[in-house]
Amino acid sequence: MAGKIARQHRMKMSRQIPIQNIYYMLLYAWDRLPEGTSIDVSGVPSPDLPNLLAQVLVDGTRHILRRGLDRGYVESDEDLSRPRGRILLGDTIKRGLLSRAVVACSVDNLSHDVLQNRILKSTLERLATTEDVHAKLRHGLYATLKSFADVSFIEITSRDFGRVEVHGNNAFYRFLLRVCELIYNSLMPAPGSNRFCFRDVLADSQTMGRIFQDFIRNFYKLEQRTFLVKADSFGWPALAQAGYGHYLMPSMNTDVSLHKDNRCILIECKWTGETFQYRHGSKSLRSEHLYQLYAYLRNHPRSSTKPTLVEGLLLYPQVDEPVDVAVRLDGHNVNIRTLDLQCDWPRIKDQLMSIIGQPQACPA
């Protein structure tokens, strides 16, 4: 029964969140807010992530095409009568090119056939063969591909995204490459065909969990100036003089930490349709999430020069009912809250700003 309830909640969560809000979450998570807001996604029906990403990729690529595709030096081997670049003497002799008055050379040519354009072209092509994309957008994908005639198609790997060199002059590529990476991680082969289909990314707690925590962290970095925003990392209070194998102890890493004078808020972000656990027909807060936050609160290093109030916050997307719990655990104020992602974006901003307001007093 508990598993059935959890599946129903995950499906309900993915159906109810407006696609525009998902898009804004991605922009904050990727720290690409200025570039992304130039693309209008209001016409994409909700909750249609494949067509949202297709619309963004088409419009974003057209934006780049208007400015001109990025170019870089690409090495190629050529047989030349007038040598340039690096002469390949061994290859020239082996192939008997001197008798034809040419030499083999390795030449660097300025070309559009660079990795970032290869990733764009390959993603556009793969997305155009995806079953979930509407016919109008598929036509736009194929039309955009015509501008990549001198760019090679590649079989993208996860390592390719870390190999692209992006600089100030081609900064818009950063945004589109994040879109391409999400598409890469979301597509899977459709059974019995050469086409692709989208898996339900919104129900993937691991993928969306990373996006949700990055969204919360970058939102607070951009939208407020009261707190210093970072992710803390600290160790367990194990005595170095006792025991052995201390190097195997894992570190504790918070999703988001807000620091201000003598106040610190540790935020754990949980993307799940299961805000509660169910046992014997009753519901309660998730034990494992509370244990994790409690461990962070107990072991977070405090300043020795001035007392610091360390608070905890568990933050979930709202599934059914809103959750607002305030308790005091071992001297720490702890709040468990849900964020309503179904409302319009200004209301979402208001919710997030109110969460980090004055410390909530808990009953003694």
Residue-by-residue pLDDT tens, the chain, 364 positions? 445 544 555 445 555 788 889 999 999 999 988 888 888 887 776 667 889 999 999 999 999 999 899 988 888 888 888 888 888 888 888 888 888 889 898 878 888 999 999 999 999 999 999 888 999 999 999 999 999 999 999 999 999 999 998 877 778 899 999 999 999 999 888 777 778 888 888 888 888 999 999 999 999 999 999 999 999 999 888 888 888 998 899 999 999 999 998 889 999 999 988 889 888 888 999 999 999 999 999 998 865 556 678 999 999 999 878 999 999 998 899 999 999 999 999 999 999 999 988 655 454 4
Query: What are the φ and ψ backbone dihedral angles of 12, each rounded to 5 degrees?
Result: -65, -40
Token pair belonging to 101: 């008055």
pLDDT at 124: 96
Domains of the chain plus CATH, in order, are 32-70+115-203 (no CATH), 72-111 (no CATH), 208-237+251-355 (3.40.1350)
Q: How many CA atoms lie within 13 A of 97 on its CB side?
A: 19
Burial class (CB in 10 A: 0-12, 13-18, 19+), 353: middle
pTM over 0.85: no
Other CB atoms within 10 A of residue 40 CB: 11
Burial class (CB in 10 A: 0-12, 13-18, 19+), 101: exposed
pLDDT in tens, 35-72: 888 888 877 766 678 899 999 999 999 999 998 999 88
Token pair belonging to 306: 């001035």
As beta bridge partners, residue 77 has 106
Q: Are the CB atoms for 318 and 270 separated by under 8 Å?
A: no
